[in-house]
Structure 1
Amino acid sequence: MFRKFKKNMLPLMLVLAAMLVIAGCSQMDTDFDAVEGQFDLVGNVLEDGTPIEGAVVEVGEKEAVTDEAGVFEIKALAEGEYDLFLNGELKDKIMIDADMTMVLEDDSITLNTSEELKDIEKTATSSSATLIDVIDDPHPWERVELWGSDNPEMIAGQEPILEISLPKNNKVRSWFPDDIFVKDGSSSRYQDYDFGNYGRLKSDRYFVLGHGSNWENATKETPVLLVHGATHDMNHAWAHPFDEQTPSTISNPGLKQYLSDRGHAVFAISFPHTQGNNLIQGQLIADAIDVIKSKTGADEVDIVAHSKGNVSSISYMSSLNQEWDDTSWLEDYRGDVRRYIAVAGPLKGLDTMFRYYTGNTTVISEQENAPVAFHDAYIYSLYRDYHRWDMSATYNDNFFQGQTQMLHNWVEDDENPIGFNSESNTSDWNATRNALYYGGSSYYVTSDGIDAVIENPQGEMGTSNFIEKMNNKGLAPDIDLYVLHGTRQAMDHFFWYPIGEKAASSDGLLFTASATYTDGLTRRGANLVDLTGKHYNHRGIAREEEPMSYINSALTN
């Protein structure tokens, strides 16, 4: 249970992180004699995520000055209401009593009942993120928290996003701030064909962290972090994978329940941008790992990632931020991942939208949360620009940076080229197919082509030549790698006809040659323990019992 009190925006952010604790309680060591009914106040002061030394915090008649880490401590406060001053400026009135701990954030004070004190004490020790909210209704998780990265660049960052790329699960969406999406405009009949609103995230710092059942009493030593893929969220991916929205009663549970029931401390991250930049999401993964370590006392975590979530995870585990000048500020790998299970990962990228013209028209007609491979096209009797739906930064902001980063030219791959099949052919003697893939114009489309979009010379934040750099860098050598991929090509059926990627062996979406490509990941000595294929498609490989059993074994053995 928690309550919020609104206040004015602060130029300095005061975080009362660990909290109001009854003197002498076991949750917190003290170096003075316990006095019944007195409390300690410990916290830190930040400005744009940076600790501030020398800030004066006053509560009642007592004051403290922050140290070089921005930390202050005020001891032995009696129960009651106090004015809280920061550098002589009144910031709020606070009530100190036995039932409350507190976090003072940019625009709110959050007070938590004492029954949650143990959890908050654990999370508050995170060195890279700040607890913003504890969710009242965490179903289907035991506990759900909203966190914010303390990295100043993350706080200031505002990645471009289409509104359709916010979490589709209504419950997950409600766990993020109401104003997470900042609208800049709307599409029209003549531009982008009515996909809706476009804009940017309020800040790149936010992530939601779910806690699986009985996570505090897990029998397995190493906690597990689940990382979802594109268009998904932690509920749909891991808790009820057969239901897009969260049902009150889950009849077909997922990997969250499967692992929790077998003694694992399960956590899952959810991103606000379901097609977001993989390096930014890698930073959020690093922050989530730091939180999990603080909660559990573990030195390492295991990561299970599905689809695009693999690329975000690899971004952190390989310190891929070092490969571009404008991403060097992101967190380097800290050596805190024990095992990594890559499930249906595009380990050498994909080329789906450039390969299939009809895939692009389906995205437009269904207004799907996916990019297109052209920037102008003649569709529905009009020639329009699709500059906010494409994957380059040449004509507008790139709203699908995470998809740009996963591109690879499979037609001209040096080791395992995969040519076009009949489903790539177009009725204009393949003029549209060729313009789409190699660049150029046909009567129907104008495209830069896959190679130009991979190079993406106007791109920022690691959106240029990503897959090549990822495989040239490799995972950190201390990580044990397990690779699980699907072999069933049919994602669905149209009557009897299978719908899926059939140009070569695949899981219906991802070429097997990509999902099993480990030369890059093991380049620096990461240990490939096992590579296994099972007869499920791209979705089934993360939600059916047989692959879930494999994942449990990989984590346990």
Structure 2
Amino acid sequence: MSLVLTPAAFLLYYAPGWDTNSKPYPVLLIHGANDTADRAWANPNELGGFGCGAISCPGTGLMQYLSSRGHKVFAINFPHKQGDGYYWAKQIYDAIQVVKSRTGADKVDVIGWSKGAFAARMYVSGVRESWGTAYAGDVRRLILLGNPNGGYDYPFRHGWYHDFSIFPECVGFVNAPSPHTKMICWGLWRNHPELSIYKTSVGDFFPGQKQMLARWDDVYPLPTWEQDWYTTYYGGLGFYTYGYGINYAMNQGSLVNTIRSAGIPGSVATYLLCGDTNDIPTIHNEHTGPSDGVVFIASCTDTTGIGSVAGNVVMNGLNHLKLGWAEAAMAQINAWLQ
């Protein structure tokens, strides 16, 4: 696998066979939040055990799987692991243009995972800023893995547990947004607005996560046994945390309804692949409704605004991370690409 740094400030990975394999439509792989193309598509075991949603992780992934079956495979690697979806959508457009120019194809098959799937849908739906690029009609098939098509509220639904992996004074280290600006760690209040999902006076560091937010409390009851559940979700001062709530964050930039209203053109065959098992090691899994550990199944399978639903499959026994490398998932993706 070789790397090429493009002028648009992203890495584009070229899998073996990108210039010799026989399939007519090249494939572009798009990784999710706090991830890289290496770990997501080429080596799920890059972070060792537990890093791929299982105790033991394979050393090869979807990139090799598709390449060995005749596909011309490329993968984008974003410069910001938690970047703004508007930027990601523009970079996806730029990557597609490079892939087209290298292969001579007029259209590309796009496979997005989680936040990467959300950004891919933004591009194909034409949701952009004034400086962005309109959808160019260059996607043949769009495959969305674990995408929160109907949005998600995981950070606010399970904020207390989520915080322990984020706040450094609580021994947190994960690059992810907290629903709180303050939290008590070891008996002292710790103030970290820069680690929160909100736009505050110190900056706006997780716009891409705000864009995926939607309330699900009218569908699945909130976990009232979890610490500070009410103030975390609706805003205010709890016993151990302080935050502004999900409505405040959504008003700062949720794009779920915007994207669904814009719609995916009927000319793009769209496929949804979802998991049904909430058993991701090392995180507090989403357990208040049927989910893949992060995204509710009802959100992942939501078809609102999709012009041509060519496939909508829930994979038994797969969590949010396994969707990118499990044998059953890869076989289904390959079948959709034929």
TM-score (norm 1): 0.57
Task: Report what 1:473 is aligned to.
Answer: 262
Q: How many percent identity over aligned positions? A: 33
Distance 2:201 2:179 in 1: 13
Q: For 1:151-194, what per-residue CA distance to the aligned partner results, in whole angstroms no more than 9, with x for missing partners?
A: xxxxxxxxxxxxxxxxxxxxxxxxxxxxxxxxxxxxxxxxxxxx
Could you say what secondary structure the match of 2:143 adopts? Answer: strand
User: What secondary structure sits across from 2:7 in the alignment?
Assistant: strand
On the 8 A contact 2:231/2:237 being kept in 1, the answer is yes
| Letter aligned with residue 287 of structure 2 | K
Matching of residue 279 in structure 1 with residue 86 in structure 2: yes
Find 1:209's aligned residue among 4, 8, 12.
12
Partner of 2:51: none
The answer to which of 306-315 and 331-340 deviates more is: 306-315
> 1:340 maps to what in 2?
142
Mapped to 2, the partners of 1:477 and 1:146 lie a distance apart of 33
2:237 to 428, 438, 441: 441
Contact kept in structure 2, 1:286 and 1:316, CA below 8 Å: yes
Where relative contact order (Cα < 8 A, 6+ residues apart) is larger, the structure is 2
Q: 2:223 aligns with which of 418, 421, 425?
A: 421
Q: How many angstroms does 1:546 deviate by?
A: 0.9
How many residues are matched? 325
> How many angstroms does 1:398 deviate by?
1.2
Contact 2:38–2:46 (CA under 8 A) maintained in structure 1 = no
Change in 2 beyond 3 A, CA 1:435/1:482: same
Q: Does 1:410 align with 2:191?
A: no
Q: Which residue of 2 aligns with 1:381?
A: 187
2:133 maps to 1:331: yes
CA distance in structure 2 between the aligned counterparts of 1:376 and 1:421, rounded to whole angstroms: 21
Q: Please report how far the alpha carbon of residue 243 of structure 1 lies from its aligned counterpart in structure 2 after TM superposition.
A: 2.1
Q: Residue type matched to 1:455 in 2?
A: N
**Aligned to 1:302, what secondary structure does the other structure show?**
strand
More strand by share: 1
Q: Equivalent residue for 2:38?
A: 235
Aligned to 1:355: 157
Unmatched 5+ stretches in structure 1: 1-140, 150-205, 322-326, 427-431, 457-463
2:265–2:308 CA contact under 8 A, matched in 1: no
Distance 1:508 1:374 in 2: 21
Structure 1 window deviating more from structure 2 (356-365 vs 502-511): it is: 356-365
RMSD: 1.6
Please give the alpha-carbon distance, in whole angstroms, between the structure 2 residues aligned to 1:314 and 1:210.
21
Aligned to 1:96: none
Aligned residue number for residue 326 of structure 2: 544
User: Which residues of structure 2 form unaligned runs of 5+?
Assistant: 49-56
Q: 1:32 aligns to what? A: none
Equivalent-residue separation in structure 1 for 2:198 and 2:329 (angstroms): 36
**Mapping for residues 86-165 of structure 1, pairs under 5 Å:** 141=1, 143-149=2-8
Under a length normalisation based on structure 2, what TM-score does the superposition of the two structures give? 0.92
Q: What's the secondary structure of 2:45's corresponding residue?
A: coil
User: Aligned-pair distance for 1:148?
Assistant: 2.0
Higher helix share: 2
- Displacement of 1:447 in angstroms is 1.1
**Shift of residue 379 of structure 1?**
2.3
State the shift of 1:499 in Å.
5.2
CA–CA distance in 1 between the matches of 2:99 and 2:47? 27
Find the structure with the greater CA-based Rg.
1
Regions of 4+ moved over 6 Å: none
